[in-house]
Structure 1
Amino acid sequence: MNPIQLFDPDSCTYTYVLFDEASREALIIDPVDVQLERDLTVLREHDLRLRWVLETHAHADHITSALWLAEHTGALTAAPAACGIVTVHRPLQHGDEVTFGSQRVRALATPGHTAGSMSYFWERATSQGVQRHVFTGDTLLIDGCGRTDFQSGDAAALYRSITEVLFALPDDTVVWPGHDYRGRTHSTIGHEKAHNARVAGRTLDEFVALMNGLNLSRPRRMDEAVPANLHGGIRHDADGAALDAPQPADGYAGDVPPAVAWDWVQQGRAVLVDVRTDAEREWVGYVPGAVPLAWKQWPGMQPNPGFDDGVRSLLRGDGRPLLMLCRSGARSIAAARRATELGATAYNVLEGFEGDLDEHGQRGRRGGWRYRGLPWRQN
């Protein structure tokens, strides 16, 4: 089946994997953090290469695994620009398209459940003809719709999104909702236009009155989920500090997952230090916002005599912790240990960094670069 529909029983969330049969490139919509291993297993079992992780909105009932999927697979993340998710590689506007292999999905702005909510429309050619799918998140559910009483919700905007955007799609378009609480898996635009209990046959004023009178209980995970989802799934405490803490290490402050490191950089809590050689930076690209300070240099990868002075200069600055970044994660460990000896609070950023492949299968600046799919990117 394409799309592959997956279900999280705790939040009743549907996650979708779409793929291009020829290239085996895929995207995933609305993944859930506790289902990370399941989703990675699905990708492996279907021999899929994940290109994109998409969100329909910033969820209040579960935490996304967006950045963890990016870290594991090298995928890029995308989400509605109006949601304000700070970690996405590509903020999406209405009409934007995301491609995977020869396939593409089109972003449809459908605000109302939240101000930034989006749906994704996929028109797919098959041997039986054209199939149309729309992934509606919490905007349009089977025989219902998302609530509008929190998180920038707007009942009038939701009514217009459903009736003017989604109901303008062909009637045979398959509706794949973000949730269902009664075991239903999909519907069609035609069916929802005729039978949806909240929308069908109602005027705007009737719909707004209905939505304003629902008196629903507050989502139990909202205070935890929304802040985390605005940072790609990284959980935060009340003071805004990331809860996915670095792991202690011998001789330096600790090992930091790339997603946490990116979060710290965005908050201004740490200084990113690129310890690759000058030649690597010149060929592959420069990390935006990083301090270039080589640990070793060509020829012969000799120790860089300027490294110590560079660290001391950073210490004379604002004294923030240093996040050491390299290609493979080896030099950054050595650099973190030396910086610690010099009095810095230094961390190693896990996994390593490498360029994208160019059209000839070579790594280098023509292919751009990425750090494990996170938004440290230059094209």
Structure 2
Amino acid sequence: MQPLQLFDPASSTYTYVLFDPATRDAVIIDPVDEQIERDLAVLRENDLRLQWTIETHAHADHITSAYLLAEHAGAKTAAPAGCGIATASKLLVHGDTLVFGGETLKALHTPGHTQGSMSFVWRDHVFTGDTLLINGCGRTDFQSGSSEAMYHSLTQILFALPDATTVWPGHDYQGRTHSSIGQEKAHNARVAGKTLQEFIAIMDALNLPKPRRIDEAVPANLSSGVRHDADAANLAVKSAEGYAGDISNTLAYAWWQAGDAVLVDVRTDAEREWVGQVPGAVSVAWKQWPGMAMNANFDAEIKSAAGGKKVLLLCRSGVRSVAAAKRATELGLQAYNILEGFEGDPDAEAHRGNKGGWRRAGLPWRQG
């Protein structure tokens, strides 16, 4: 059985769809955001239920559509643990397997292009991302790359697979679609028959230009494809009500992880202990229910927490955070309300890319 191989001309990226013919459960490897409509059409036309979106690494030449596919197709997201993609539902380590129907996909840690890069084995196929390419390999000169690690990944991990294993690369720039382990082991121009020192010398002499989209792509891919330069649909929709705007939980997480904002949980200590909390969030309770104490300390605490950054306010369901955002704005802060809060409404339709609240979106949290 063959995978469905799809191609993005702008980045020469191959995307792969694998599925169980009996159950129609499917996974997609290295999807591209600009091809979201194509990929959704492929799923519909083949009557497939997408279970997982999978990254081979944090890409520098395109932005993944992982979070879009999670929103539109209900898929879970998976990524290598060593890549820092904290928004993924499952962080993979060497030897992990993903199940879709009666099929399994096995993760192989193959660092070199990046420290966390992975390849994936399915039946007698291997999807090598930017590790092993046809008659080549991925570059190792940026993003925690290592020529020594790449050599080990190629010669000790991938070349240990059976020679008949079909190689499906993450890119090709000459129209080639696939190869085999035996072919690459015998004829790959960069590594076949080369010592480690010879391989390092070859890689050091490449002198490749910086990827055109790296400054845009890498930060977005560390957030499963959520762009940090969000458009007006995500921001400032309630500026007339006295604060900077509403923001989706996924975009809030991206800003927070990028260091552009501080995340403030305005629930009470009791709520966080009972329901759950966000590790690393600053706790500044906003009390507005009848019989509760006035917010005597809120002003000083929120100004101290902000530290000159944007303030992202999170409550249980997205109500108190609006009032808190208004007050923070009055204090001169750039404050945003996180839509649907920590829990959200499980019966409500997803709003602006949210999945019914912070924890239902698969963002980091722990029980109190």
Structure 1 length as normaliser, TM-score?
A: 0.74
Taking a change above 3 Å as real, the CA distance of residues 17 and 303 of structure 1, as seen in their structure-2 partners, is farther
One-letter amino acid of the structure 2 residue matched with residue 57 of structure 1: H
Give the Cα separation in 2 of the matches to 1:9 and 1:304.
61
Match of 1:149 among 119, 138, 141: 141
Return the offset for 1:160: 2.0
Between 1:35-44 and 1:180-189, the stretch displaced more is: 35-44
In the other structure, the counterpart of 1:55 is 55
One-letter amino acid of the structure 2 residue matched with residue 171 of structure 1: D
Give the Cα separation in 1 of the matches to 2:25 and 2:273.
29
Return 5+ residue gaps in structure 1 as ranges.
124-131, 236-241, 297-301, 358-368
Contact 2:276 2:365 in 1 (8 A): no
The answer to whether structure 1 residue 371 and structure 2 residue 357 are counterparts is no
Give the Cα separation in 2 of the matches to 1:21 and 1:335.
51
Return the offset for 1:179: 0.2
Give the Cα separation in 1 of the matches to 2:180 and 2:21.
24
Give the Cα separation in 1 of the matches to 2:55 and 2:300.
41
Give the Cα separation in 2 of the matches to 1:225 and 1:172.
34
The answer to whether structure 1 residue 318 and structure 2 residue 305 are counterparts is yes
Cα shift readout 1:257-299 (whole Å, capped 9, x = no counterpart): 22211123333723343769x89995x7555456596999xxx
Between the aligned residues of both structures, percent identity stands at 58
Alignment of 1:132-143 (within 5 A): 132-143=124-135
Contact 1:3 1:16 in 2 (8 A): yes
In the other structure, the counterpart of 1:264 is 255
Give the Cα separation in 1 of the matches to 2:60 and 2:185.
27
How many residue pairs match? The answer is 347
The answer to whether structure 1 residue 229 and structure 2 residue 221 are counterparts is yes
Contact 1:141 1:179 in 2 (8 A): yes
Return the offset for 1:202: 3.0
One-letter amino acid of the structure 2 residue matched with residue 264 of structure 1: W
Contact 2:317 2:342 in 1 (8 A): yes
One-letter amino acid of the structure 2 residue matched with residue 6 of structure 1: L
Query: By percentage of residues, which structure has more strand?
Result: 1
Taking a change above 3 Å as real, the CA distance of residues 272 and 24 of structure 1, as seen in their structure-2 partners, is farther
Taking a change above 3 Å as real, the CA distance of residues 22 and 350 of structure 1, as seen in their structure-2 partners, is farther
Backbone CA RMSD of aligned residues:
3.8
Cα shift readout 1:135-173 (whole Å, capped 9, x = no counterpart): 100111122211223333332322221121111112222
Give the Cα separation in 1 of the matches to 2:90 and 2:152.
26
Give the Cα separation in 2 of the matches to 1:323 and 1:306.
23
In the other structure, the counterpart of 2:246 is 255
Give the Cα separation in 2 of the matches to 1:342 and 1:167.
62
In the other structure, the counterpart of 2:229 is 243
In the other structure, the counterpart of 2:353 is none
Cα shift readout 1:161-204 (whole Å, capped 9, x = no counterpart): 11211111122222110001122222222222233233333333
Match of 1:162 among 154, 162, 165: 154
Alignment of 1:269-280 (within 5 A): 269-273=261-265
Alignment of 1:351-370 (within 5 A): 370=359
In the other structure, the counterpart of 1:102 is 102
Contact 1:68 1:259 in 2 (8 A): no
Return the offset for 1:111: 1.6
Return the offset for 1:41: 3.3
* SS of equivalent to 1:111: coil
One-letter amino acid of the structure 2 residue matched with residue 259 of structure 1: T
Contact 2:226 2:250 in 1 (8 A): yes
In the other structure, the counterpart of 1:348 is 337
In the other structure, the counterpart of 2:41 is 41
Contact 1:18 1:28 in 2 (8 A): yes
Between 1:91-100 and 1:175-184, the stretch displaced more is: 91-100
Give the Cα separation in 1 of the matches to 2:49 and 2:297.
40
* SS of equivalent to 1:15: strand
Taking a change above 3 Å as real, the CA distance of residues 376 and 8 of structure 1, as seen in their structure-2 partners, is farther
Contact 1:370 1:378 in 2 (8 A): no
Contact 2:250 2:361 in 1 (8 A): no
Cα shift readout 1:223-274 (whole Å, capped 9, x = no counterpart): 3333333343344xxxxxx322542124132121222111233337233437
The answer to whether structure 1 residue 115 and structure 2 residue 115 are counterparts is yes
In the other structure, the counterpart of 1:238 is none
In the other structure, the counterpart of 2:165 is 173
Structure 2 length as normaliser, TM-score?
A: 0.76
